[in-house]
Amino acid sequence: MVAWRAVSVGAVAASAVAAAVVLPVEGGPSRPQAQAVAAATARPLAGKVIVIDPGHNGRNYKHPKVINRKVPAGPFKKACDTTGTATDSGYAEHAYTFDVATRMARLLRAQGATVHLTRPNDTGVGPCVNQRAALANKVRAHAAISIHADGAPGKRRGFHVILPGYVKGYTGPIVTPSKWLGYDIRYAFRKGTGQPYANYIGRDGLDVRTDLGGLNMSKVPKVFIECGNMRNATDAARMRSAAWRQRAAVSLATGMAHYLKR
């Protein structure tokens, strides 16, 4: 296993490149070397395909028939989607997830990655959880992440990453790579945002589930993250802050980039 270093996405690339290229003692690198270093440093994720799924959608609540219909979610069916939760002041999970996803996409594209979001805006309905997984399968994503925030009783707080458990005939091929993705996301998110591990679910910021269609229907490495509890005052204040959401996005992009360089 590669040792995990807490440095920015760009710094990882720069240090990796610097270590890989033997520079002349005098006169600096030759022009081709310098160009190679510059190119690799600027676009370290070139060729990588990433799907970011902002959980829920802004108009789900207006279309219960659409989002309540049952869709394949593994060896069983589940509702197409849900409305998601909100802070006590009314800041909605779907708005939070879309904002963080958009910020994360911008950061990863700047590193050269091809990034797909599962929904283009925050004013639509769906798509269903199986369709969100299907997009990543279709574009053969190297990795996918579904961004959420929880709605638990108010004294509970912290974040957790949800890994796919083994579901026969479904998640077998993705269980192990998703675990590595989850480790990288967990490390980067705690380091970058200061969020503690959830004190009410999972263990050390990780939970394993076999009931989520978004994971069961995925053929590519995928995790969910519940960034905090929107019903907790401390977590809610963070999620309402645009500056903190940027930190969340940077952290998620850093963790994703680390996974993609494994």
What count of other Cβ atoms lies within 10 Å of the Cβ of residue 52?
28
Q: Among candidates 68, 63, 213, 51, which has minimal Cα distance to 123?
A: 63
Determine which one of 73, 226, 228, 254 is catalytic.
226
Piece in contact with Zn ion (CB under 5 A), picked from 7-15, 129-137, 144-152, 211-219: 144-152
Nearer to Zn ion, 67 or 257 (CB): 67
Q: In terms of DSSP H, where are the helices of the chain?
A: 9-20, 31-42, 64-68, 93-110, 129-138, 175-193, 213-216, 233-240, 242-260
CA 155 to chain centre: 25
**Residue 213 lies near Zn ion (rule: CB under 5 A):** no
Active site residue 226: yes
C-beta of 51: minimal distance to Zn ion in Å?
Answer: 16
Q: Smaller CB distance to Zn ion: residue 55 or 126?
A: 55
* x-marked contacts with Zn ion along 92-121 as a string, rule CB under 5 A: ------------------------------
Question: Using CB under 5 A, which of 44, 58, 74, 84 touches Zn ion?
Answer: 84
In the complex with Zn ion, the residue whose CB is nearer, 55 or 213, is 55
The residue written with tokens 């949800």 in the block is 162
Report whether 92 contacts 58 (CB < 8 A): yes
- Are the beta carbons of 132 and 53 closer than 8 angstroms? yes
Question: Pattern 46-75, binding to Zn ion, x per CB under 5 A?
Answer: ---------x--------------------
Number of residues that bind Zn ion (CB under 5 A): 3
User: Which among 12-20, 124-132, 141-149, 190-198 is the span making contact with Zn ion, rule CB under 5 A?
Assistant: 141-149
Closest C-alpha to 149, from 94, 202, 191: 94
Task: Please tell me what DSSP assigns to residue 203.
Answer: B
- Please pick, from the candidates 78, 119, 142, 148, the single residue that binds Zn ion as defined by CB under 5 A: 148
In the bound state with Zn ion, the residue whose beta carbon lies nearer, of 112 and 154, is 154
Check: CB of residue 156 under 8 Å from CB of residue 200. yes
CB of 55 or CB of 192, closer to Zn ion: 55
User: Can you read off the two tokens belonging to residue 227?
Assistant: 């960034």
Question: 48 or 231: whose CB is closer to Zn ion?
Answer: 231
CB under 5 A: which stretch of 77-85, 99-107, 114-122, 185-193 binds Zn ion? 77-85
Q: How far is the CB of 56 from Zn ion (least distance, A)?
A: 6
Q: Residue 56: phi, psi to the nearest 5? A: 70, -165
Q: Say what the alpha-carbon torsion angle 93, 94, 95, 99 is, to the nearest 10 degrees.
A: 100
Residues involved in catalysis = 226
Site residues for Zn ion per CB under 5 A: 55, 84, 148
